[in-house]
Amino acid sequence: MPADCIIIEQDELTTNESDLTGEPEAMIKEVLSKDNIKYNPCPFLLQGSLVETGTGTAVVLAVGDNTNQGQAGLSMNIEEE
């Protein structure tokens, strides 16, 4: 994924986020709705993750340094005084 997104439509969508989280299992991604909110579905696609199966449509939330991964990288930049 080139950006952080939120899913608005999907069909059997899973992603590999092992580079970001270390979790080796594919993450099931679902559209958030009033019917499934109690089950805490994951509607987010993160920059740097790999779509393994399915298809989907999403709205871009952030790109570049504004993504989750971009913010983590910026926090590691320590300037010497």
The 10s digit of each residue's pLDDT in 14-60 is: 999 888 888 888 999 999 999 998 988 889 998 989 999 999 999 99
Contact 21, 69 (CB under 8 A): no
* Residue 81 belongs to a domain: no
pLDDT at 80 over 70: no
CATH number for position 68: 2.70.150.10
Domains identified in the chain, total number: 1
Contact 5, 42 (CB under 8 A): no
34/56 Cα distance (integer angstroms): 19
Contact 6, 56 (CB under 8 A): no
Domain limits for position 38: 4-75
Query: Does the CA dihedral 7-36-49-79 come out positive or negative?
Result: positive
